[in-house]
Amino acid sequence: MNQEPLVQIRDLSFSYDNRKILSGVNLTIPRGKVVAIMGSSGCGKTTTLRLIGGQLKPTSGEVRVNGQVVHELDSEGLYAMRRRTGMLFQFGALFTDMSVYDNVAFQMREHTDLPEALIHDLVLMKLHAVGLRGAHKLMPSELSGGMARRVALARSIALDPMLMMYDEPFAGLDPISLSIVGVLIRKLNDALGASSIIVTHDVQESLKIVDYIYFVSEGRIVAEGTAEEIRNSKTPYVHQFVWGEADGPVPFQYPTHNAYGDELLQKAA
């Protein structure tokens, strides 16, 4: 059995022109585990997913997936790697003019030569795994937000990926749907023997299902640990983020040079 981590990020830095997004990031995704990347908006979480998927190339450092340096792959190698990777986008990104069935079947038809009879069985199997086999004839416009997210999840696991990436999978979901999707992410990861990376703001739901968490702030890893270690963290930024406190390293008020009272008095004068 291969004991090498599925994803290894070493000394990774990335910039858009002169704007630095990530700086010296080191991160490991073991095989068979669910790992969360957390942090405030704009800290570089989604950029990390794009670097893992090969949409972006690092300024320095490297990303290895299954032993291969992603930015060194040619188009054929990158295509082959992506076929073994599933992606759940923030709001599902279903094809609106295709039925639920055809959305899930899309990758199988596009990337395999499987007969339609076998594709039919596999589609129903994937939909059954997310509890929506009975909805296979519906169109995306007929689905609730939680159902659409589950269909997107079924589509993303259509080819039994070795790596699953989730970009804010809990955004916009009601509490019931949120809990269902969280449980599905954990169960499907274990059933597939895959590795999963979750980029999310939803701390409490994620802590129920993940094996390990990395916290990113201003493009750097500022904390990491198991769910229990993160809950009990004394690092001010992590504590504020986990418990949703207004006071802490991340200020509630946008910075200003003038005292609030002074500005009111100036206006009155």
DSSP code string of 84-105: TEEEE-TT----TTS-HHHHHH
Q: What does pLDDT average to over the chain?
A: 86
Element (H, E) at 22: strand 19-29
Provide the total of helices (H) and of strands (E) in the chain, helices listed first. 10, 10
Q: How far apart are CA 25 and CA 15, in angstroms?
A: 13
Residue of 181, 128, 185 whose CA lies nearest to 161: 185
What per-residue confidence (pLDDT) applies to 250? 63
Average pLDDT for residues 40-54, to the nearest whole number? 85
The residue assigned the tokens 């599933």 is 86
What per-residue confidence (pLDDT) applies to 213? 93
The SS3 of residue 209 is: coil
Q: Above 80 in pLDDT, residue 269?
A: no
Q: Above 90 in pLDDT, residue 164?
A: yes
What per-residue confidence (pLDDT) applies to 268? 55
Question: Which residues fall within 8 angstroms of residue 49, CB to CB, at 6 or more apart?
Answer: 87, 165, 167, 197, 199
Would you call 254 exposed, middle or buried from its count of C-beta atoms within 10 A (0-12, 13-18, 19+)? Answer: exposed
Strands 212-217 and 34-38 come out as parallel
Q: Above 80 in pLDDT, residue 50?
A: yes
The residue type of 215 is F
What are the structural domains of the chain? 7-84+161-268 (3.40.50.300)
More confident residue, 24 or 173: 24
Q: How far apart are CA 50 and CA 121, in angstroms?
A: 32
Q: How far apart are CA 91 and CA 32, in angstroms?
A: 25
Average pLDDT for residues 219-237, to the nearest whole number? 85
For 108-136, the pLDDT digits (tens) are: 998 889 999 999 999 999 999 888 999 99
Q: How confident is the model at residue 256 (pLDDT cuts 50, 70, 90)?
A: confident
Q: How far apart are CA 199 and CA 220, in angstroms?
A: 15
Strands 163-167 and 60-65 come out as unpaired
Q: How confident is the model at residue 247 (pLDDT cuts 50, 70, 90)?
A: low
Average pLDDT for residues 98-113, to the nearest whole number? 92
Q: Using an 8 Å Cβ cutoff, are 142 and 97 in contact?
A: no
Average pLDDT for residues 220-239, to the nearest whole number? 84
Least confident segment among 31-35, 61-65, 163-167, 200-204? 200-204
Total residue count of the chain as it appears in this document:
269
